[in-house]
Amino acid sequence: MFYIFLIIVLLGIFFLPQWWVQRVMAHHNKTINALPGTGGELAQHLIEQYHLPVSLEVIPPEISEQGDHYDPQSKTVRLSSLYFNTKSLTAIAIAAHEVGHAIQDFQKDELLRLRGKMVIASQGLQKLGAGIIFIAPIMTVFTHSPIIGEIMALIGLLSISSSLLVHIISLPVEFDASFNKALPLLKEGHYITPVDLMAVRQVLLAAALTYVATALSGLLNIWRWVAILKR
């Protein structure tokens, strides 16, 4: 009974943040015709208003791997078509959040730059880690030394775990984009009413916590690798 309860608690920890983020985004993505523009129109307006040296692109529906994001390499704000073409509180909050990242880049935010470098490094390390874990049992057989296989497996797990470090660094970057950049933009520009402020805060919090949900999913992936290696 205790183990069943523990499993339920762990599943709740891993999946509730992701469920809450998706629920908040969907709940506030209802069309509001009274809004002055769509998410895409707001993003373009903010880019022009603050003279940001960035471009704006819409992500086609069939491309969903990266989702809404700012690309510091190409200096591009990318919004999914769902938010780009929609007049909703979620759409304008997400648009302002991504423009917030562009402002961070324009202001030469050190954490944003560090995250960008670590994302590139992490992608390589994860591929390397998966390869090391794959050949670890083979090396154990060939060398007749279990310790070598264990060391290689540990190195592989640490390499795969590098993505968690990226997500940890991402948290202050995301919160800054939501509450120090996007929220003041929306309030001072009178793009939202005082009545909508609480809902927009929820969406901006959800946008920032997306990386928490992703990090917890990453923990599940590491847990899966550990379970495989124990067999």
Which residue matches tokens 């209802």?
A: 30
Which residue matches tokens 């933009």?
A: 185
Question: Could you tell me the residue range of the domain that residue 69 belongs to?
Answer: 2-230
Q: Residue 19 — pLDDT band, cuts 50, 70, 90?
A: confident
Instruction: Count Cβ neighbours within 10 Å for each residue of 25-35 and write b for 16 or more, e otherwise.
Output: beebbeeeeeb
Q: Which two tokens stand for residue 124?
A: 């390589």
Q: Say yes or no to pLDDT of 226 above 70.
A: no
Q: Is residue 44 within 8 Å of residue 96, measured between CB atoms? A: no
User: What does DSSP say about strands 55-59 and 76-80: parallel, antiparallel, or unpaired?
Assistant: parallel
* Number of domains composing the chain: 1
Classified as helix, coil or strand, 51 is: coil
Q: Is the dihedral of CA 26, 207, 213, 166 positive or negative?
A: positive
Q: What is the mean pLDDT of residues 36-56?
A: 95
pLDDT of 160 reads 59
Classified as helix, coil or strand, 92 is: helix
